[in-house]
Structure 1
Amino acid sequence: MIEAHALSKRYGERAAVTDLSFTVRPGVVTGFLGPNGAGKSTTMRMILGLDAPTSGSVTVNGKAYARHRAPLHEVGAMLEARAIHTGRTAYNHLLALAATTGIPQRRVDEVIEIVGLREAARKRVGGFSLGMGQRLGIASALLGDPATLVLDEPVNGLDPEGILWIRNLLKDLAAQGRTVLLSSHLMSEMSLTAEHLIVIGRGRLIADTSVAEFVRGAAGGSVRVRTEEADRLRTLLAGPDVSVASAERSVLEVSGLTSDRIGRIAADAGIALAELTPQLASLEEAFMELTRDAVEFQAPAREPALAKEGQAA
Structure 2
Amino acid sequence: MIDVTNLSKRYGDKVAVEELTFQVRPGIVTGFLGPNGAGKSTTMRMILGLDAPSAGTVTVNGRRYVEHLAPLREIGALLEARAVHTGRSARNHLLAMAATSGIPRRRVDEVIDLVGLREVAGKRAGGFSLGMGQRLGIAAAMLGDPKVVMLDEPVNGLDPEGILWIRHLLKALAAEGRTVFVSSHLMSEMALTADHLIVIGRGRLIADVPVAAFVAQAAHDTVRVRSPQAAELRDLLVGPEVTVSGGEPGLLEVSGLTLQQIGDRAAAAGLTLHELSAQQTSLEEAFMTLTRDAVEYTAAPTAGDVPAGRNVR
TM-score relative to the length of structure 2: 0.87
The AA in structure 1 aligned to 2:122 is: R
* 1:201-244 residue CA offsets vs partner (Å, 9 max, x unmatched): 11111111111221222144322357897535534526799452
CA RMSD of aligned residues (A): 2.6
The AA in structure 2 aligned to 1:259 is: T
* Structure 1 partner of 2:310: none
2: CA distance, partners of 1:232 / 1:217? 33
Q: What aligned pairs does 1:233-252 form with structure 2 within 5 A after superposition?
A: 234-235=234-235, 237=238, 242=243, 244-245=245-246, 249=250, 252=252
2: CA distance, partners of 1:238 / 1:49? 58
Q: Is the 8 A contact 1:33 1:183 kept in 2?
A: yes
SS at structure 2 position matched to 1:154: coil
Q: Is the 8 A contact 2:244 2:252 kept in 1?
A: no
* Structure 2 partner of 1:259: 258
Question: Is the alpha carbon distance of 1:258 and 1:51 closer, same or farther for their aligned partners in structure 2, counting shifts above 3 Å?
Answer: farther
Q: After the TM superposition, which of the residue ranges 221-230 and 186-195 deviates more from structure 2?
A: 221-230
Gaps of 5+ in 2: 307-313
* Structure 2 partner of 1:105: 105
* Structure 2 partner of 1:291: 291
- Displacement, 1:18? 1.0
Q: What aligned pairs does 1:1-313 form with structure 2 within 5 A after superposition?
A: 1-225=1-225, 230-232=230-232, 234-235=234-235, 237=238, 242=243, 244-245=245-246, 249=250, 252-255=252-255, 257=256, 259=258, 263=261, 278-304=278-304
SS at structure 2 position matched to 1:98: helix
* 1:38-76 residue CA offsets vs partner (Å, 9 max, x unmatched): 010011111111111111111111111111111100000
Gaps of 5+ in 1: 307-313
- Displacement, 1:254? 1.8
2: CA distance, partners of 1:242 / 1:11? 49
SS at structure 2 position matched to 1:38: coil
* 1:4-24 residue CA offsets vs partner (Å, 9 max, x unmatched): 111111111111111111111
2: CA distance, partners of 1:243 / 1:87? 63
- Displacement, 1:36? 0.3
SS at structure 1 position matched to 2:52: coil
2: CA distance, partners of 1:173 / 1:305? 45
* 1:78-113 residue CA offsets vs partner (Å, 9 max, x unmatched): 000000010111111101100111100000110011
Q: Is the 8 A contact 2:5 2:58 kept in 1?
A: yes
Question: Is the alpha carbon distance of 1:252 and 1:53 closer, same or farther for their aligned partners in structure 2, counting shifts above 3 Å?
Answer: same
2: CA distance, partners of 1:133 / 1:248? 50
- Displacement, 1:276? 7.0
Give the % identical residues: 66
2: CA distance, partners of 1:177 / 1:238? 51
Question: Is the alpha carbon distance of 1:305 and 1:40 closer, same or farther for their aligned partners in structure 2, counting shifts above 3 Å?
Answer: closer
The AA in structure 2 aligned to 1:19 is: E
2: CA distance, partners of 1:138 / 1:231? 56
The AA in structure 2 aligned to 1:97 is: M
* Structure 2 partner of 1:311: none
2: CA distance, partners of 1:194 / 1:19? 24
TM-score relative to the length of structure 1: 0.87
SS at structure 2 position matched to 1:296: coil
Equivalenced residue count is: 300
